[in-house]
Each structure stands twice: as C-alpha cells, then as structure tokens.
Amino acid sequence: MMATFTKASVPLGAKTLPGSYYTSHVTFGQERDRIFAAHWVCIGREEQLGERGDYIVAEVASESIIVVRDDRGQLRAHFNVCRHRGTRICADSRGKFGAAIVCPYHAWTYGLDGRLLAARFMEGTPGFSKSDYALASVALATWNGFVFVNLSPSAQKFEEAFAPVLDRFAAWVIGRLRVGRRIDYDLSCNWKLVVQNYSECYHCPLIHPALERLSSSQSGRNDLLDGAFLGGYMTVRQGGGAMTINGRSARPTLGAVAGEDLDRAYYYALFPTMLLSLHRDYVMAHYLRPLAPDKTQVTCEWLFDPVTMAAPGFDASDAVEFWDMTNRQDWHVCELSQQGIASRAYRPGPYSNQEGLLHAFDRHYLSVMGS
C-alpha cells in the first residue's frame, strides 16, 4: 500500500456532535433519506449467492430488497414489492427461487431479472402491458467479494464513489476469501457511535487490555484522513505475532501481504455503514444496520483463505474469540455513551488529538446531511 501515514490530530475547538444527532427521530429519518438511501451500502458477500436462484433479502433505509443470482449468473437487486397491489413477495431472509419469483397474494410471476412474466386474468385489461410492470430495480455493485446496493435512482457510479479505496487492499485478495464465522449483535445505541468508537483507540488501554497487550494504542497512523473513507494501521507489538486470543497464528499469510504489512493491522471505516479490518492471515468485516436513533444491528464476519479453511485442523476460534470479546467490550461502552448523550446534562465535549478521525467523520457526515 503506497501511502503516507500520519498520526491523528484535531483542529482547535473541535467538539463532539450535539446530542440530537444521536437521539432525534427526525434526524434519523433524514439520515435514512440522505445517507442510507443515497449511498452504497454493503449487505454481505457474493458467496451467499453462489448458484442461480439463490437470494437474500436485505433491509436498507427501511426498505426490503431482494438480491438474487439470475439465469445468466448475474446478481440483481429488486425492491421486495409486487407491482400488482404492493404485497411483500419474500418473507424469508434467504432461500432459493425455482423458475421464477412468484407473489404469494395473486401469483404475479417475475423472472429472476425482474421482468413480469405472467399476471393471472389480466389479459384484455385496458392499457395493461406486462412490460410496464417489472419489479422496481435497485443499483448493485460488487467489490472484493462484497455486495453493495444503492437505492437512489441517480446513484453515483460505484467506481467513482469508491475510487479512494478501489484497489487499496489488493494484496489481501479479499475477493477470494470465504466466511469462516459470522456473529450478529443487537446494540442499544446510535450507529454513528459504533463507527466513531471503531475509529479511535483513545479508549483501548481502559476498555481493551487484551488488545492493548497485542497492539499499542499509541501506534496508530492514518492515510485516509478526510472524506467518506477513514483509517490506517496499528502495529502488532510482537514481530510475527497476530491479532488472536493468544497473539499467535499458524495460518498462512494472505495473498501478497508482505513487508511491514505483516506486523500491521489495518482498520478502515467505509461510509456509511461498513468497517473493514485487515490482518495478515484473515480479514474481518462489520456491517451496520441502523434501526432507530438508539438501535443498531451489527453483523461481524471473519474471512479466511478457502484453501486454509479446507485444510485438516482449521480453527478460526482464536481470531473469532478475540474479536468477539473486543466487540462486546465496544458495544457496552457505546451503549453507555448513548445513555449519557440522551441526558439533558450532555453538551458537546472536546475531541482529543487521538480522535482526529472522529472529527473527520463528523465533517463528512454533516456535509452529507446538509448541516
């Protein structure tokens, strides 16, 4: 990764956001329209849709979206809404379609590509044409094996939106990796607190003593300091060590990871709701699903090389246990932050120099919100 890394810093007078940004239902509604429905949101991995007809249903910006692999092997995304009377078509979170997508109410039938194939007893209805009633489509893109959707009818091209990170992680060959473990978490806090907590290690010596033993909170250096993508690396204290429960790993190094990257862990927040952590022997991804001002669902996935996973004795528990412990420590303190911010006593407080990425996140967030 050819980049210039620097320590985080904040300008004079930088302070946290007012409490309403974390507690207001009005603000949350504005976020739904201006952020979650207007930006590229990661909903999972391509491997969940390996064969023709495989589908998942994702909730994005309070909308239900069907993502399916069609007859040509292409991924498609459709609103989960029948064009007849608006019935939700899929109730299950994932599954496999047969020959077509069929509405359970009146059996309007759609191809996997969304075209209306059959509408019972609609022949001869004045002005009706099947070509006018395809499922409403959603923009879809894939990147490094991740699947993204964008609900906006005027969505910015994915390649343009993700230009700063498009090829940044090539050494990890993330597109070849497969999910070794997945854990879902339900948090009682605002989604922004999760992103902000992830973006600083000011809290690490107090909240994560095990993490601090493996990687110094003072070692953080960042190369993405402004805009939609923020992050950098932290150094693993022990040369040849790993971010695992015992600080070691017998797994081979991923792809072309080499040199200084062998003793670094990279952490990036990809606006709005994805967190990507890169280690020499695995990659970890968090997907955030904001549900309410004080409710967030987080899915964490650990990705490994499929050859390594297929080898006898493969065990992901050393990485999973370490980060599951760390995640739960983070979620607890995020929930405490939510409780405190909701108090009438809360006022914006000053950021420290170790919280430069949080101030950068706030700037980008406010620019998108038009505040």
- Give CA 260 to chain center in angstroms: 26
Question: What stretch(es) of the chain map to CATH 3.90.380.10?
Answer: 20-25+166-369
Cα separation, 37 vs 271, whole angstroms: 13
Cα separation, 44 vs 67, whole angstroms: 10
What is the DSSP code (8-state) at residue 33? Answer: I
Cα separation, 40 vs 158, whole angstroms: 7
| Share above pLDDT 90 across residues of the chain, in percent, rounded to a whole number | 98
Instruction: Give the per-residue pLDDT at 3.
Output: 75
Give the β-pairing of 146-150 and 139-143: antiparallel
Q: State which amino acid sits at residue 74.
A: Q
The pLDDT tens digits of the residues spanning 215-239 come to 999 999 999 999 999 999 999 999 9
Q: Kindly give, in sequence order, each residue whose CB lies less than 8 Å from that of residue 79, ignoring residues fewer than 6 positions away.
A: 63, 64, 65, 66, 135, 136, 137, 138
For the CA atoms of the chain, what is the radius of gyration? 22
The CATH superfamily of 41-158 is: Rieske [2Fe-2S] iron-sulphur domain (2.102.10.10)
Q: State which amino acid sits at residue 248.
A: R
- Give CA 324 to chain center in angstroms: 17
Joined together, the tokens standing for residue 305 give 């090389």
Cα separation, 38 vs 36, whole angstroms: 6
What is the DSSP code (8-state) at residue 347? Answer: -
The CATH superfamily of 20-25+166-369 is: Naphthalene 1,2-dioxygenase Alpha Subunit; Chain A, domain 1 (3.90.380.10)
Instruction: Give the per-residue pLDDT at 289.
Output: 98
Question: What stretch(es) of the chain map to CATH 2.102.10.10?
Answer: 41-158
CA distances 292 to 27, 62, 123, 337, 352, Å, are: 10, 10, 44, 16, 28
Instruction: Give the per-residue pLDDT at 371.
Output: 83
Instruction: Give the per-residue pLDDT at 2.
Output: 57
Burial of 63 (0-12, 13-18, 19+ CB in 10 A): middle
The pLDDT tens digits of the residues spanning 279-296 come to 999 999 999 999 999 999
Instruction: Give the per-residue pLDDT at 8.
Output: 87
- Pseudo-torsion of CA 194, 199, 204, 207, nearest 10°? -10
Question: What's the length of the chain?
Answer: 371
Joined together, the tokens standing for residue 269 give 């927040």
CB 322 within 8 A of CB 309: no
Sign of CA dihedral 338, 344, 348, 353: negative
Average confidence score pLDDT of the chain: 97
The CB density around residue 352, as the number of other CB atoms within 10 Å, is: 15
DSSP letter string, 110-128: E-TTS-EEE-TT-TT-TT-
CB 108 within 8 A of CB 119: yes
Joined together, the tokens standing for residue 236 give 């693993």
Cα separation, 195 vs 201, whole angstroms: 12
Q: For every one of its 371 residues, what pLDDT tens digit does the chain have, with 9 covering 90 and above? A: 557 899 989 999 999 999 999 999 999 999 999 999 999 999 999 999 999 999 999 999 999 999 999 999 999 999 999 999 999 999 999 999 999 999 999 999 999 999 999 999 999 899 999 999 999 999 999 999 999 999 999 999 999 999 999 999 999 999 999 999 999 999 999 999 999 999 999 999 999 999 999 999 999 999 999 999 999 999 999 999 999 999 999 999 999 999 999 999 999 999 999 999 999 999 999 999 999 999 999 999 999 999 999 999 999 999 999 999 999 999 999 999 999 999 999 999 999 999 999 999 999 999 999 98
Query: Shortest CA distance to 210 belongs to which of 314, 321, 353, 358?
Result: 321
Cα separation, 296 vs 289, whole angstroms: 6
